[in-house]
Amino acid sequence: MIVFNLCCDNEHVFEGWFANAEAFGDQAARGLIACPVCDSTQIERRPSAPYVHTAGVRDKNAPQRTAVDPEVFAAAFRMAARQAEDVGEQFPSEARRIHHGEAEQRSIRGQASSEDLGELLEEGILVLPIPDEPSIQ
């Protein structure tokens, strides 16, 4: 996976994760990448800072922490969810079918009650509730 800094034509800056540069180019050309703030599909790559390994001493057992703006985090997940197949109210049953190998492995999204989510998690099926988009006023 590779992370790119992206920007829409409204100057909203966000990150996108792709298998490689070609995957980004293909998805961008097909309009599959949308800004998590305004939904624009006019997306371009921005320069990224390279990863630099420093020789400083670090406790390898210390927990790693990163500060993340909750709105940016939620927006990134909403963007990923838009690219998943919407199975609507069939989400719990389709998630189970995928988990048990009865349906094609793929990313899905849909609706589920809190009870359904709890049951899926108890069954070892990883699900992630994504908050609704805030209304823009």
Determine, yes or no, domain membership for 20. Answer: yes
- By C-alpha distance, which of 14, 84, 88 is closest to 45? 14
Determine, yes or no, domain membership for 100. Answer: yes
Co-location of 41 and 13 in the same domain: yes
pLDDT of residue 15: 87
Determine, yes or no, domain membership for 63. Answer: no
Co-location of 42 and 104 in the same domain: no
Q: Residue 35: which domain range?
A: 1-47+70-83
Q: What tokens appear for 109 in the block?
A: 């999204």
Co-location of 76 and 121 in the same domain: no
Percent helix, strand and coil across the chain, each to the nearest 5: 30, 15, 55
Q: State how far the alpha carbon of 125 is from the alpha carbons of 73, 101, 111, in Å.
A: 22, 12, 15
CB 43 within 8 A of CB 63: no
Co-location of 26 and 77 in the same domain: yes
Co-location of 32 and 97 in the same domain: no
Co-location of 77 and 32 in the same domain: yes
Co-location of 100 and 74 in the same domain: no
Co-location of 10 and 27 in the same domain: yes
pLDDT (mean) for 117-136: 76
Tell me the per-residue pLDDT of 34-67, one tens digit each, with 9 for 90 and over: 998 898 999 998 876 554 445 555 556 656 656 6
Looking at the structure of the chain, the number of domains it has is 2
User: Is residue 136 scored above 60 in pLDDT?
Assistant: no
Q: What tokens appear for 37 in the block?
A: 């703030």
More confident residue, 130 or 118: 118
Co-location of 74 and 105 in the same domain: no
With residue 78 as reference, give the H or E element that holds it.
Answer: helix 70-82
CB 14 within 8 A of CB 35: yes
Co-location of 14 and 76 in the same domain: yes
Give the C-alpha separation, 89 to 109, whole Å.
9
Q: What is the pTM of this model?
A: 0.47
> What are residue 42's phi and psi, to 5 degrees?
-90, 90
Co-location of 24 and 78 in the same domain: yes
CB 16 within 8 A of CB 34: no
